[in-house]
Amino acid sequence: MKLTDNVLRSFRVAKVFRENSDKINCFDFSSNGETVISSSDDDSIVLYDCQEGKPKRTLYSKKYGVDLIRYTHAANTVVYSSNKIDDTIRYLSLHDNKYIRYFPGHNKRVVALSMSPVDDTFISGSLDKTIRLWDLRSPNCQGLMHLQGKPVCSFDPEGLIFAAGVNSEMVKLYDLRSFDKGPFATFKLQYERTSEWTGLKFSNDGKLILVSTNGGTLRLLDAFKGAVLHSFGGYNNSKGVILEASFTPDSQFVMIGSEDGKIHVWNAESGMKVAVLDGKHTGPVTCLQFNPKFMTFASACSNMAFWLPTIDD
């Protein structure tokens, strides 16, 4: 089944899970699309089975809190940042609920975490104005970059380069093998005083970069030239909430939640809004991602919603 404007417009909430007592701050699908794992401000980690459509188990990280949870490539393991006590990144085995390794180094809150799509490398960005490069097999930081401001960062789909959004006005592209030489490309965007950048993602085809903000606009960039192709707006975000924006797996559409619980979808090529979907969320939709393998997506406030299309175009 192919994603079209009509199929996207037909999506409805199929299931709602109320496992959390506070907002879900992050979730991540496994690469095979069979499970999704969430982290919440209530210090819990909930693992859901996407095929059966139900929560499988709940773990807790009461002492350190849990945020920015990401699957690694090994089955049943995740990395996540702390939001209490310290700013160490933790590597957890879900199998026996034990830490495999800690990654200390940042001395302020970690605000970005991206796992390489191809190996055990990951990068983290922090309010301490650094990006750190790590390898899951070693507790020592493999590389350190000092920046001029708060960074957001992400790997490209090939895992060869990563992009850093700095100071809410520049995107810098680095080659992973020689990042200490500095960026090989820098794109300067018009600075917007009213909002800060909160996220950066590549499309699966590697051609586009999506920059999300805590304001009411998203920007879509050409990943090679840095030109702003589209600015997307018209969704509610008056309180400066961090709302996750995502591409669909085919790179054709861009979607974001809003503070009023609705989901807005645009065509990435034309820039036209194709749908506004009502998720019946009780709070802002802070997390939103399409399943990498199946025709379903998930959205979250303090509740988690699974969506399905109601037509097969």
SS (H, E, C) 237-289: CCCCCCCCEEECCCCCEEEEECCCCEEEEEECCCCCEEEEEECCCCCCCCEEE
Say what the pLDDT of residue 313 is: 63
* Mean pLDDT value across residues 267-294: 94
What is d(CA 141, CA 132) in angstroms, rounded to the nearest whole number? 7
In the chain, the domains with their CATH numbers are 28-243 (2.130.10.10)
- Cα 83 from chain centroid? 17
Q: pLDDT tens across 157-175, in order?
A: 999 999 999 989 999 999 9
Helices then strands, counting H and E runs in the chain, come out as 1, 28
> 84 falls in which pLDDT band (50, 70, 90)?
confident
Averaged pLDDT score across all residues of the chain: 92
* Mean pLDDT value across residues 94-112: 91
Q: Is the model's pLDDT at 191 over the cut of 90?
A: no
Q: Is the model's pLDDT at 119 over the cut of 90?
A: yes
Q: pLDDT tens across 239-262, in order?
A: 888 899 999 999 999 999 999 999
Q: pLDDT tens across 25-70, in order?
A: 999 999 999 999 999 989 899 999 999 999 999 998 888 788 888 9
Q: Is the model's pLDDT at 75 over the cut of 80?
A: no
User: How many residues comprise the chain?
Assistant: 313
* Mean pLDDT value across residues 65-94: 87
DSSP state letters, 203-248: -TTSSEEEEEESSS-EEEEETTT--EEEEE--S---S-----EEE-
* Mean pLDDT value across residues 213-235: 93
Beta strands at 197-202 and 185-188: parallel, antiparallel or unpaired: unpaired
